[in-house]
Amino acid sequence: MEIDLGVVYRESRLRVSEMVISCDDTIAVPATPGWDVHAVVAHLAGAAEDARTGNLDGVTTDPWTAAQVVRGKDKSVSELCAQWAQDSTPLESFLSTPEGKPFSNAVFDVCSHEADLLSAMGQPVDLPEDFVAFSRRAMTKSFYAQVASAGLDPIEVSALPLEIFRSRLGRRTEAEVMAYDWSALATDYLDFWFIFGRCEKSLGEFSSS
């Protein structure tokens, strides 16, 4: 099932903006150690700005995201959300085109941080079902491709779609991932599973479904 990446990005952006506009922006976000709510929003706004201006050297690396947080540190959350809305307009339009399909990582990023913020605020981590299903397919496909490229024996994993999305992006502990339904011992495969490393401590997330 295909999804409109631009629409998914926009809807997540709107939900995040509504969530953070009146909250305490100094609340720590355990899923992104060292960042609070303000830093997460600064990153999201900064990433859209970088996409608009073509500042993509080092995209997704720690220095790239850290620079976004620094740029936004003196702006209010309201100002950051307004900037994000303005800078994301061309990005959202592009993501809705056939040419935008290979850039689903932008959507994974915003939805991942939406979940991070929900978790930090003690709310259920509920994301749109069509996006979660899409992310499960994409995340498992890329994992199986990595396994094959590394010359490892094929392996299959089964878990709730949200679990796969959250864990592949580093929001679960090694023990939590080992508890998934694997077709073989998963130990040798975990370095390929975790794209952004492992959580040291469980986030204790829950969903309403």
pLDDT of residue 62: 94
Mean predicted lDDT score pLDDT of the chain: 98
Q: How many domains are contained in the chain?
A: 2
Residues 97 and 189 in one domain: no
Tell me which residue range forms the domain holding 99. Answer: 5-120
Residue 198, domain member (yes or no): no
Determine, yes or no, domain membership for 147.
yes
Confidence check: pLDDT of 117 > 80: yes
pLDDT at 202: 98
Domain of residue 33, CATH code: 1.20.120.450
Q: Judge whether 205 lies within some domain.
A: no
Contact indicator for 5, 16 with CB cutoff of 8 Å: no
Q: Same structural domain for residues 95 and 150?
A: no
Do 89 and 154 share a domain, yes or no? no
Q: What percent of the chain has a predicted confidence (pLDDT) above 70?
A: 100
Same domain for 70 and 164, yes or no, is no
Give the whole-number percent of the chain exceeding pLDDT 90: 98
Residues 43 and 76 in one domain: yes
82 and 138 fall within a common domain: no
pLDDT band at 107 (very low <50, low <70, confident <90, very high): very high
Q: Sorting pLDDT into bands at 50, 70 and 90, what band is 150?
A: very high
* 120, 137, 165 - which closes a domain: 120
The arithmetic mean of pLDDT across residues 107-132, rounded, is 98
- pLDDT above 80 (res 1): no
pLDDT digit string, tens, across residues 183-206: 999 999 999 999 999 999 999 999
Q: Do 105 and 168 reside in the same domain of the chain?
A: no
82 lies in the same domain as 99? yes
Indicate the pLDDT class of residue 209, thresholds 50, 70 and 90: confident
